[in-house]
Amino acid sequence: MGEFFRVALAVAAKDLRVEHRSKTALVSAIAFAALVLVIFNFARDAAAVSREALAPSVLWITFSFSGVIALNRSFALERENAALDGLLLAPVSRSALFLGKYLANLAFVFTVEAVALPLFVLFFGVDLTGSLGGIVLTAVLATTGFVAVGTVFAAMTVRTRFAELMLPLLVLPFLLPPVIGAVQVTARLLAGRPLSEIAGWLRILGFYDLVFVTLCLLLFPPLMDE
């Protein structure tokens, strides 16, 4: 079991090191998130819809679209010089390889979200005092599951000709449950509702993560098994 996590961490560290050295993808993803926030501010009738009313939706559209954009990167990286084949040839568990790619993606998406959240507060004038902990928890719960599914799909779509188009087509249906849950929770948190009102949604988000992370760990080995 120690070996399993050692491999996973080594793969994740490799991905993050590549990312750290160029930083292109991370900077682009953050810029993308910021641009979505800017567009959103103007994609509403300022006289009819207040920024506060739209805030939860804006936050989650920004998070989830940036997440999907970021996922494309993870296997596009391995495509050059057939690096993926090299990884697959290594005598290690395929589930550990998946876990490594997944953890790196998760770190990447969390970083983008960590930068986008203050920007969101800045642009939309939202007061997060008292709800910051809840929002962070919701972000973690809502992101964990869909990034797992997205990592599996990114491994597939990188083999197709229209990877940038194919990945959203496959992943977006899987975003629906986390986004619904996250928006419901965020709206209640921002309105200062008690914790008892959101506990049910948080449980659904957690259950979604549990099911899909497990399923992805199980399905990745047969997926890559030539």
Partner 1 sequence: MTETPAGRRATRRGLGIVALGLLGLAGVYVLALRYTPMERFQGLPQKIFYVHVPAAWSAMLAFSLVGIASALYLWLRDPRLDLFAESAAEVGLIFSMVMLTTGPLWGRPVWNTWWTWDARLTFTLILFFLFLGYRALRGALQDPGERARFSAVVGILGLVLVPFVHLTVYLFRTLHPQPIVLKPSSPSLPGEMLRTLLVSVGVYTVLLLGFVMTRYGLGAQARLEGGEDAR
Residues lying near partner 1 in the complex (CB under 8 A) are found at 149, 152-153, 156-157, 159-162, 166, 169-170, 172-174, 176-177, 180-181, 184, 200-201, 204, 208, 211-212, 215-216, 219, 222-223, 225-226
* 203 alpha carbon, distance to own chain's centre: 19
Task: Tell me the closest approach of the beta carbon of residue 220 to partner 1, in angstroms.
Answer: 8
Return the number of the residue (86 or 200) whose C-beta is nearest partner 1.
200
Backbone angles phi, psi at 45, to 5 degrees: -85, 105
Neighbours of 41 (CB within 10 A): 14
Return the number of the residue (195 or 211) whose C-beta is nearest partner 1.
211
Return the number of the residue (18 or 180) whose C-beta is nearest partner 1.
180
Can you read off the two tokens belonging to residue 17?
């090191």
Task: Tell me the closest approach of the beta carbon of residue 217 to partner 1, in angstroms.
Answer: 12
Return the number of the residue (55 or 198) whose C-beta is nearest partner 1.
198
Return the number of the residue (108 or 146) whose C-beta is nearest partner 1.
146
Task: Tell me the closest approach of the beta carbon of residue 62 to partner 1, in angstroms.
Answer: 20
Task: Tell me the closest approach of the beta carbon of residue 46 to partner 1, in angstroms.
Answer: 25
Alpha helices, DSSP H, located in 93-158: 94-124, 132-157
User: CA–CA separation, 158 vs 223, rounded Å?
Assistant: 13
User: CA–CA separation, 226 vs 216, rounded Å?
Assistant: 18
Task: Tell me the closest approach of the beta carbon of residue 57 to partner 1, in angstroms.
Answer: 13
R_g (Cα) of the chain, nearest Å: 18
Return the number of the residue (18 or 54) whose C-beta is nearest partner 1.
54
Tokens 């494309």 found at: 72
Task: Tell me the closest approach of the beta carbon of residue 223 to partner 1, in angstroms.
Answer: 5
Return the number of the residue (24 or 214) whose C-beta is nearest partner 1.
214
Can you read off the two tokens belonging to residue 15?
């991905």
Query: Residue 141: which of 72, 212, 56 has the closest Cα?
Result: 212
Task: Tell me the closest approach of the beta carbon of residue 27 to partner 1, in angstroms.
Answer: 30
Contacts of 19 (CB under 8 A, 6+ apart): 25, 26, 104, 108
Contacts of 104 (CB under 8 A, 6+ apart): 11, 12, 14, 15, 16, 19, 74
